């Protein structure tokens, strides 16, 4: 962690205080380089019990400095002293000197050995790319600087917010946490840089959700893979490294071993009803960033002033955009009303006023919704026009589609908020109550038209869903198993659709946009950025 602090104080804070980690090609290569030295071998006698021979993977600590380290390799210098050797995947600087972060790390290992009574005059860094060792002498000046850095790192860790990101630093491009840190995005919002953000955020994360909808199926784990079986017949298999979340619907069993494997990789497991209603979730250890949850709790108690107005204003504008792009009739009056209501939402002074504005906008929007449906699905649109928006249970096919897509959107935002370190049940706009993921519903507002409603319109207009995909029982309408699978495929396609972010200017998928927005909300809650800007398309 001290190595990370020297490299970037913000990276140190995210990993040490917030316990947020991520891998990239560099970290995986580093793990490969360490595969031999990470296997413990050899004995380390006490200083008074004899010389030390070459020993791998030795843990040593210094209570005086408050640091602990695992030494890659410990050798004798042949003159009665020991030499810690730290392995690095790269190469030294162009002049042959070590990188500052590497130098501090190996110096701390040497000081920890000294504090345990082992004589140590120097340390060494082994750079695998050039296969060379670089010697680091423990001079008084170097020791003083290293101890000061440890004190600075401890001071930064005690702050309630992370240090601001580096500005235009080449370090950010190779950082594994760039997608969590959002350096250029944060600096752009704070006007700390004039250039548009670099496209540092990956546009298409490798991981994808796994949906298990087959009744009676069983999810187990074997050789680093999630296997889905039923009656001893394998239905599907997925590499754990490719899984973003595991969502199981209805009567599906998940083994203890599979749960443990998911927890070890911070993969959320979500249990849903057959119709998509979220029953619960599990994510191993809870997020460790307590300050973020404290600020979220305080904002929840205050009623979310400012944030709720931005969220609802964004939702209304996105609904207006969807209508403008897809309606087949004259809805100019509705569009004008929605534009006016969005402005009123952003300036609403009281929570009841905001609720009234949002309700009026919803009535106008859903009244015009059937105008976006193609004539081939006119009967479905006509039934919706007669009944309006309804749920629990839906009483017509269009409402059944909307409810299912909203449930999937909420499910995804529960997983995302958990990953960010937020509590999905402490809302800002939606009031918290038993079983309601209020914060996930808050974030879902701006994405309902962009993702869920767009999926529904596309399914009906493209003829992917028809009347045979619905079940009607006692006045309630639900999707069949085949219908749910069709909707899930269309929903995942929509999440993979790339758009140009209206604030930052680069192209990323809707899947990644939701993650970015959750992190911007967290930044606004802890005071890192002045305000939350919802995702609004043009």
pTM for the predicted model, two decimal places: 0.74
- pLDDT tens for each residue of 480-506: 888 989 999 999 999 989 888 887 777
Cα→Cα distances 464→213, 372, 482, 490, Å: 19, 16, 11, 9
Among the four given CATH numbers 3.40.50.1370, 3.100.10.20, 3.20.20.150, 3.40.50.300, the one describing domain 208-282: 3.100.10.20
pLDDT in the model for residue 56? 85
Which fold, 290-525? 1.20.120
- pLDDT tens for each residue of 390-405: 777 888 888 889 999 9
pLDDT in the model for residue 162? 85
pLDDT in the model for residue 31? 58
Which of 62-76, 146-160, 282-296 is predicted least confidently?
282-296
Rounded CA-CA distance 247/238 in Å is 13
Which of 33-42, 94-103, 114-123, 250-259 is predicted least confidently?
33-42
Q: Mean pLDDT over residues 269-274, rounded?
A: 89
Compute the radius of gyration of the chain from its Cα atoms.
28
Rounded CA-CA distance 322/367 in Å is 14
The three-state DSSP-derived secondary structure of 24-82 is CHHHHHHHHHCCCCCCCECCCCCHHHCCCCCEEEEEEEECCCCEEEEEEEEEECCCCCE
- pLDDT exceeds cutoff 50 at 202: no
Concatenate the DSSP letters of all residues of 11-27 into one string.
HHHHHHTS------HHH
Q: Mean pLDDT over residues 174-188, rounded?
A: 79
pLDDT in the model for residue 42? 64
pLDDT in the model for residue 206? 65
- Please indicate if the annotation marks 34 as binding a ligand: no
pLDDT in the model for residue 103? 92
pLDDT in the model for residue 435? 67
- pLDDT tens for each residue of 402-417: 999 999 999 999 988 8
- pLDDT exceeds cutoff 80 at 192: no
- pLDDT exceeds cutoff 60 at 201: no
Rounded CA-CA distance 461/376 in Å is 7
Map tokens 């990239």 to a residue. 24
- Please indicate if the annotation marks 4 as binding a ligand: no
Q: What is the mean pLDDT of the chain?
A: 85
Q: Mean pLDDT over residues 518-523, rounded?
A: 87
Map tokens 């029953």 to a residue. 279
Query: Residues 87, 128: contact at Cβ < 8 Å?
Result: yes
Q: Using pLDDT thresholds of 50, 70 and 90, give the confidence band for residue 204.
A: very low
Query: Residues 163, 471: contact at Cβ < 8 Å?
Result: no
DSSP designation for 306: T
pLDDT in the model for residue 76? 85
- pLDDT exceeds cutoff 50 at 518: yes
Q: Are strands 278-282 and 233-239 parallel, antiparallel or unpaired?
A: unpaired
pLDDT in the model for residue 438? 86
- pLDDT tens for each residue of 431-487: 777 768 888 998 999 999 999 999 999 998 888 888 888 888 887 888 888 898 999
Q: Where are the domains of the chain?
A: 29-148, 164-200, 208-282, 290-525
- pLDDT exceeds cutoff 60 at 34: no
Map tokens 């020791």 to a residue. 143
Rounded CA-CA distance 248/420 in Å is 22
Rounded CA-CA distance 272/383 in Å is 28
14: Cβ contacts below 8 Å, ≥ 6 apart? 20, 162, 177, 180, 181
- Please indicate if the annotation marks 382 as binding a ligand: no
- pLDDT exceeds cutoff 80 at 86: yes
Which of 193-197, 235-239, 378-382, 402-406 is predicted least confidently?
193-197
């Amino acid at each position: 962690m001290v190595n990370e602090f020297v490299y970037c104080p913000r990276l140190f804070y995210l990993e040490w205080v917030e316990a947020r980690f991520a891998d990239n090609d560099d970290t995986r290569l580093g793990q490969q380089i360490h595969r031999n030295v990470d296997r413990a071998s050899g004995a380390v006698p006490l200083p008074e019990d004899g010389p030390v021979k070459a020993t791998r993977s030795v843990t040593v600590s210094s209570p005086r400095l408050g640091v602990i380290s695992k030494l890659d390799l410990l050798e004798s210098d042949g003159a009665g002293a020991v030499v810690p050797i730290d392995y690095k995947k790269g190469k030294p600087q162009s002049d042959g000197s070590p990188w500052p972060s590497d130098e501090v790390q190996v110096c701390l290992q040497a000081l920890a050995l000294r504090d345990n009574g082992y004589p140590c005059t120097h340390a060494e860094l082994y750079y695998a790319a050039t296969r060379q060792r670089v010697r680091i002498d423990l001079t008084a000046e170097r020791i003083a600087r290293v101890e000061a850095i440890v004190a600075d790192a401890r001071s930064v860790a005690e702050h309630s917010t992370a240090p601001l990101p580096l500005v235009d630093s080449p370090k950010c491009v190779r950082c594994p946490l760039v997608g969590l840190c959002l350096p250029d995005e944060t600096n752009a919002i704070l006007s700390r840089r004039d250039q548009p953000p670099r496209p540092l955020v990956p546009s298409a994360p490798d991981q994808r959700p796994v949906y298990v909808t087959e009744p009676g199926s069983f999810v187990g784990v074997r050789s680093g893979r999630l296997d889905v079986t039923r009656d001893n017949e394998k239905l599907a298999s997925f590499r754990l490294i490719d899984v973003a979340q595991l969502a199981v619907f209805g009567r599906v069993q998940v083994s203890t071993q599979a749960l443990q494997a998911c927890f070890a990789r911070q993969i959320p497991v979500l249990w849903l009803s057959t119709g998509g209603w979220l029953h619960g979730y599990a994510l191993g250890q809870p997020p460790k960033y307590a300050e973020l949850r404290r600020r979220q709790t305080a904002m929840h108690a205050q009623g979310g002033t400012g944030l709720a107005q931005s969220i609802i204003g964004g939702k209304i504008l996105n609904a207006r955009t969807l209508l403008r792009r897809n309606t087949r009739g004259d809805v100019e009056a509705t569009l004008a009303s929605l534009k006016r209501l969005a402005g009123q939402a952003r300036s609403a002074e009281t929570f009841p006023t905001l609720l009234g504005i949002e309700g009026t906008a919803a009535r106008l929007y859903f009244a015009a919704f059937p105008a976006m449906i193609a004539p081939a699905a006119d009967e479905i649109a006509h039934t919706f026009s007669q009944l309006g928006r309804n749920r629990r249970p839906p009483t017509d096919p269009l409402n059944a589609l909307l409810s299912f897509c909203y449930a999937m959107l909420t499910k995804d935002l529960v997983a995302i908020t958990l990953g960010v370190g937020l509590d999905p049940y402490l809302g800002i706009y939606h009031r918290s109550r038993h079983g309601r993921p209020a914060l996930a519903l808050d974030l879902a507002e701006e994405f309902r038209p962009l993702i869920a409603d767009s999926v529904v319109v596309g399914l009906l207009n493209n003829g992917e869903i028809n009347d045979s995909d619905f079940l009607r029982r006692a006045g309630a309408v639900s999707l069949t198993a085949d219908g749910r699978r069709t909707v899930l495929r269309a929903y995942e396609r929509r999440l993979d659709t790339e758009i140009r972010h209206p604030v930052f200017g680069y192209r990323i998928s809707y899947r990644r946009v939701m993650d970015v927005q959750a992190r911007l909300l967290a930044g606004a809650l802890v005071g890192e950025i002045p305000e939350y800007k919802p995702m609004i398309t043009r």
